[in-house]
């Protein structure tokens, strides 16, 4: 709905990736940017005789962040539930010393089993529930990972003049469970250039050692150097940094020994791509209070737009 009329074609592949093509000045090369649509969540695996549901995770969770959270179960109709765990009043002194495990949690619907079973079934998906909040110059909500990049890609398409080359804006699926959708779309498109769009850990917070701090929230877009899944092409790093300097956008490097994004799948797609990433520094990742700076968001949009528009000036030579 948001991009209809501003791109030349839209298709949805067998896996569910939405692929939008915006034709460029030249078709000699292809450019792809990937923003994953999926969020971490759960799947109902069991409903007991009293109507409490057990679940399996879809994506990575820190168990302690589930305590006292609301969720939406997408059954025959959407139904609200809460994450329950053994209350502290019923714990032994030894139990109180231990961190909760995922298997300790269940979903409570506040309904008898007969009513639960009319609506909820094994295999139903579950998402977390929270409000969207603006706090000063920041936004705070669940699933900025990766609502942000979907927004970034949409807004870049809206503001973009003629791209240098044919631009494939891909809204991917199943990133959180193995970068799966991007693998399929990258093999189909076979891009020459690729941009991963995602969030990254901003942990300039109390208790974090200086050497362990990544990009800083309110410090500008993070340019990917490496993570556990990929090492960005050095030519792409230099290109993004050059575009940012010309646009007077403050940027910062992202050097991680964990995590992974669709950048890796695009880099290894078909013939391989010259790949890099433009990431949003975000606090409290994979919780319901993910937080990011509005200026960083705007700068990420501008940086992507200018990078795609100017790729005909890309230096293909290795230094």
Strand partners, 232: none
Question: Hey, what are 205's tokens?
Answer: 């917070």
Active site residue 176: no
Q: What's the Rg (C-alpha) of the chain?
A: 21
Q: Are 155 and 2 in contact (CB under 8 A)?
A: no
Calpha distance 243→256 (Å, rounded): 23
Beta strands in the chain (DSSP E): 9-12, 18-22, 26-36, 41-47, 53-58, 70-74, 78-84, 106-108, 125-129, 133-135, 138-141, 165-172, 193-201, 222-226, 252-255, 274-282, 290-293
How many Cα atoms sit within 13 Å of 305 on the Cβ side?
19
State the catalytic residue, choosing from 39, 155, 175, 176.
Answer: 175
Residues carrying an active site annotation = 175
């Amino acid at each position: 709905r948001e991009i209809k009329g501003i791109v030349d074609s839209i298709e949805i592949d067998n896996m569910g990736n939405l692929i939008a093509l915006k034709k460029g000045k030249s078709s000699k090369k292809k450019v792809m940017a990937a923003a994953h649509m999926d969020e971490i969540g759960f799947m109902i695996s069991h409903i007991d005789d009293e109507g409490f549901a057990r679940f399996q995770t879809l994506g990575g969770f820190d168990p302690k962040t589930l305590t006292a959270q609301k969720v939406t179960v997408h059954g025959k109709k959407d139904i609200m539930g809460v994450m329950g765990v053994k209350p502290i009043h019923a714990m032994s002194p030894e139990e109180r010393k231990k961190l909760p495990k995922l298997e300790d949690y269940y979903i409570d619907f506040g309904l008898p089993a007969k009513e639960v079973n009319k609506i909820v079934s094994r295999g139903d998906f579950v998402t977390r529930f929270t409000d969207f909040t603006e706090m000063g110059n920041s936004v705070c909500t669940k699933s900025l990972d990766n609502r942000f990049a979907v927004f970034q890609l949409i807004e870049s398409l809206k503001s973009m003049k003629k791209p240098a080359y044919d631009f494939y804006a891909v809204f991917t699926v199943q990133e959180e469970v193995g970068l799966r959708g991007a693998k399929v779309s990258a093999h189909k498109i076979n891009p020459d250039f690729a941009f991963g769009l995602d969030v990254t850990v901003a942990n300039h917070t109390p208790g974090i050692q200086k050497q362990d701090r990544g990009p800083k929230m309110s410090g500008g877009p993070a340019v990917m150097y490496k993570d556990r899944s990929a090492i960005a092409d050095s030519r792409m790093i230099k290109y993004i940094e050059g575009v940012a300097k010309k646009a007077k956008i403050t940027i910062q490097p992202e050097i991680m020994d964990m995590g992974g994004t669709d950048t890796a799948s695009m880099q290894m797609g078909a013939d391989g791509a010259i790949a890099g990433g433009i990431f949003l520094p975000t606090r409290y990742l994979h919780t319901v209070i993910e937080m990011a700076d509005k200026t960083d968001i705007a700068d990420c949009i501008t940086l992507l737009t200018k990078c795609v528009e100017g790729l005909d000036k890309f230096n293909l030579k290795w230094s």
